């Protein structure tokens, strides 16, 4: 066995080897940075059984206040181990240090504190009912854990999205089996250490490594002992998971792909819009489900917005993730770059004009084996273009002029996806009117990626099923038992001293 970092599965509080080992390759320079122990069906089965055992033990009898306190301890340990988690995240993804520290690591701790606050303040739905015949009853709903939850997370924001799901799952009293992406196994493995250090009982948090079909992902999704699956990733993978859980009629929560639109009206603050769009197109090398890949710009300001975005794209600096000047990392893998490059080629073949980018950058011999791509903008495309229909998941966007509000709404909603949209305008009435007509789960006005973690997060159409965030997450991770208590008939209003209405 080589002396590379070994990333093992975590089952019932112990790190265990897998049935096979595969290399994790850095997207920065193509070097092998870790060896990952792939979980066979037996390891996944042991993880599910460990989670089930935890539910029947002390964890299954834990109180809300105890779980909230535990979540806050987890957040504290994440902050204590921030440098370790940072290195793990950069090793897997190659994203710039500043972004990883501020976004990924910071949000990981915040996700646990937010879930603790939500569960601590959650009340019970209760109703005092009086029927016309005088019968009375008190109905109240007792929330119970969903059970063993399979948590399948993607590679683009691995620690952020993992903790986004695990925190409310644990807050609700569940036990989890996590399957991180094979591209980003490091932070999930390290989070297992964090959980143990924070005092999470054995079996409550488990990690199984591997791929999807014929590997840990399929074994987890089809396991009869799993009570529900939460997944973030591609729409096609979500459809495959739905087929897997159908025989057992298990609930699912999916946050899937997006082909998000932005609409820039002529009355917008153009500098503000260009700044916001440059973030929404290029953040994390375009590898965020919320990123903008379609920009519709009102004709009077089309040229100025295109010029502004091109200038921002040219200012981006690709390179060493630890270098202070680096703004943009690589794509996640050579395979994903090949996919993105195929869209770059197809756009040109279908008549697009490349405003900026459009190829693979030359970053010198040290980074030549990395998965680098140029930030790219196109004009000369429309809603029939392949790059305006398919989710590319890279630092790319098509720029299209429009005339009038109705055309802008029609173009923005002309997609099978429905995750997010952004509207840029200084007209308050238009802002409310247009944002409300976007067929999406989230609509921003004059901003992007600004959220209250208590607000609902999710999409429509091919972009997903269900909502996450605050109490909306608790709705998936718990199931209520309604208790109805029959009460003796009481006095009617106006009788026995009751005031009449």
89 assigned to active site: no
What does the CA dihedral 239, 241, 242, 247 come to, rounded to 10 degrees? 140
- Identify the sign of the CA torsion 345, 278, 420, 302: negative
> Which one of 255, 293, 374, 391 is the catalytic residue?
255
Give Cα 99 to chain centroid, integer Å.
16
Output the six-digit token pair for 62: 């834990």
Output the six-digit token pair for 283: 């953040």
Residue 474 contacts residue 127 (beta carbons within 8 Å): no
CA-CA distance, 211 to 206, in Å (whole number)?
16
Residue 226 contacts residue 48 (beta carbons within 8 Å): yes
CA-CA distance, 444 to 415, in Å (whole number)?
18
Q: Which of 211-214's residues contact partners 24+ apart within 8 Å by CB, and which partners?
A: 211/38, 211/182, 212/237, 212/240, 213/240
CA-CA distance, 400 to 72, in Å (whole number)?
46
> Which one of 89, 97, 289, 291 is the catalytic residue?
289
* The residue count for the chain: 501
484 assigned to active site: no
Q: What is residue 100's three-state secondary structure?
A: helix
Task: List active site positions.
Answer: 255, 289
């Amino acid at each position: 066995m080589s002396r590379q970092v070994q990333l093992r599965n975590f089952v019932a509080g112990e790190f265990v080897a897998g049935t096979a080992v595969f290399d994790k390759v850095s997207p920065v320079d193509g070097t092998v940075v870790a060896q990952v122990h792939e979980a066979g069906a037996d390891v996944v089965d042991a993880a599910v059984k460990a989670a089930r055992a935890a539910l029947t033990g002390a964890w299954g009898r834990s109180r809300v206040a105890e779980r909230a306190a535990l979540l806050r301890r987890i957040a504290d340990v994440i902050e204590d181990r921030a440098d370790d988690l940072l290195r793990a995240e950069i090793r897997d993804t190659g994203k710039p240090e500043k972004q990883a520290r501020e976004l990924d690591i910071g949000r990981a701790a915040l996700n646990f504190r937010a879930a603790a606050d939500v569960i601590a303040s959650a009340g019970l739905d209760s109703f005092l009912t009086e029927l016309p015949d005088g019968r009375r009853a008190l109905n109240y709903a007792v929330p119970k854990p969903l059970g063993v939850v399979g948590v399948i997370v993607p590679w683009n924001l691995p620690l952020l999205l993992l903790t986004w799901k695990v925190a409310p799952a644990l807050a609700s009293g569940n036990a989890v089996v996590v399957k991180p992406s094979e591209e980003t196994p490091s932070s999930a493995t390290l989070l297992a250490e964090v959980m143990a250090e924070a005092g999470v009982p054995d079996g409550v948090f488990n990690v199984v490594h591997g791929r999807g079909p014929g590997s840990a992902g399929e074994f987890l999704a089809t396991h009869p002992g799993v009570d529900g699956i939460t997944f973030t990733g591609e729409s096609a993978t979500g459809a495959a998971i739905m087929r897997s859980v159908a025989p057992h009629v298990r609930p699912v929560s999916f946050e899937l792909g997006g082909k998000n639109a932005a609409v820039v009206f002529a009355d917008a603050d153009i500098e503000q819009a260009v700044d916001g769009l440059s973030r929404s197109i290029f953040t994390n090398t375009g590898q965020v489900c919320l990123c903008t890949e379609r920009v519709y710009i009102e004709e009077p300001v089309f040229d100025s917005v295109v010029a502004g975005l091109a200038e921002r794209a040219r200012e981006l600096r690709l390179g060493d993730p630890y270098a202070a000047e680096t703004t943009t990392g690589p794509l996640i893998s050579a395979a994903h770059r090949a996919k993105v490059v195929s869209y770059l080629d197809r756009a040109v073949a279908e008549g697009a004009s490349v405003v900026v980018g459009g190829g693979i950058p030359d970053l010198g011999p040290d980074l030549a084996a990395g998965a680098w791509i140029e930030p790219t903008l196109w004009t000369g495309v429309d809603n029939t273009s392949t790059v305006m229909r398919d989710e590319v998941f890279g630092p790319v966007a098509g720029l299209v002029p429009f005339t009038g509000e109705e055309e802008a709404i029609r173009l923005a909603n002309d997609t099978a996806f429905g995750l997010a949209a952004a509207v840029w305008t200084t007209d308050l009435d238009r802002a409310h009117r247009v944002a409300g007509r976007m067929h999406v789960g989230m609509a921003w006005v004059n901003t992007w990626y600004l959220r209250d973690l208590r607000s609902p997060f999710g999409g429509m159409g091919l972009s997903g099923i269900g909502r996450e965030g605050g109490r909306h997450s608790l709705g998936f991770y718990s199931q209520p038992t309604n208790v109805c208590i029959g009460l003796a008939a009481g006095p009617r209003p106006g009788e026995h001293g009751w005031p009449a209405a």
